[in-house]
Amino acid sequence: MTDRSVLIVPNRFKEPYDFEYVIDLQDNILGEMKELNLSRITFIEPYSMLSLLLIGRSYLRKSGTKLKLTGIPINIHQYLHRMDFFKAGVFEVSERLNEKLLLKRSSFSKRVLEITEIPNKERESVQVISGIVGVFRKRAEHILKYWLSERIVDYFVTVISEICQNIYEHSLDSGYLAMQTYSVGKENIVRLCIGDQGIGIVKSFENCDVSYDSSANLIELALTTPISSKREFGYGLCQVNAIAEKLRGSIYLRSGDASISNLYHKKTSGSSFLFLKNNLSNFDGTQISISLIG
């Protein structure tokens, strides 16, 4: 007989849009599930990792108990441990990884920014963001190995600062950040991901005089138009999107039940690779992924 309290998680952790299959299961996870079996997972990228962490935190907040993770493949367990995934303390892990199997913090592993919690209070958050920026600058030659220039380093510092600042200014919740450079086939990818489970973009603009047709359309406006729900001269997301365009990268932003993808690396003269989606399964807060692909 199948244990209905155990969910075998689908192998959908390879891209932000791929993780939608897991978000679709969130109501079941937050309802009757007590255990997530990760035995089918073969790869997990930073956005999916942070989103899984947010699901675990939601479960803990709702139930008062930790969601159990089982069947974690060794390579996935090694990666999650190396990225400080378990330090958040929101999951129960039945199988401990032997210390001999832990990934060492070598020069190669300097190609990451480990998961860091961004507080929802300004003073604490400013200190944490400053620390993140400091570590990023020290590791930039490894993280941005294939794109390294002083200009690009400064661009990413701006992106980190702006998006993390949005967490304590807009979300009314804490969030997480992670960054990594990795290879898939012949492609080299650097991906910066930041997510929270706060009030989301639509609610943050509910008292502002902004007209929009749908949730995804509002996200598009926040990314492409100088509007801000708090700062008169803030416009953080618009600046972040402009940087992604200059770098010919990609940006994926999800909030509530809508998402937007802007694939500048695929854009040619006269073409558009902007995708808006509405009526997705609701996922509280705002999650964003900025990628360079080369």
**Lowest-confidence segment of 18-22, 181-185, 269-273, 280-284 by average pLDDT:** 269-273
Reduced to 3 states (helix: H, G, I; strand: E, B; else coil), residue 278 is coil
pLDDT at position 11 over 70? yes
Q: Is 102 or 79 the better-scoring residue by pLDDT?
A: 79
Contact call for residues 19 and 13 (beta carbons, < 8 A): yes
- Is 6-101 a domain of CATH 3.30.1490? no
Q: How far apart are CA 289 and CA 287, in angstroms?
A: 7
Which of the 8 DSSP states describes residue 283?
E
Q: Encode pLDDT of 145-186 as tens digits.
A: 999 999 999 999 999 999 999 898 888 899 999 999 999 989
**pLDDT for residue 109:** 65
pLDDT of residue 1: 42
pLDDT for res 207: 77
**How big is the CA angle at 182 (ends 179 and 117), to the nearest 5 degrees?**
15
Higher pLDDT, 265 or 255: 255
Domain extent listing, the chain = 6-101, 110-293
Is 110-293 in CATH node 3.30.565.10? yes
At 5, phi and psi to the nearest 5? -90, 0
In the block, residue with structure tokens 């200059």 = 246
Q: What pTM, to 2 d.p., does this model score? A: 0.92
- What tens digit of pLDDT does each residue of 198-257 get? 999 999 888 777 889 999 999 999 888 876 545 443 358 889 999 999 999 999 999 999
Residue 236 vs residue 81, higher pLDDT: 81
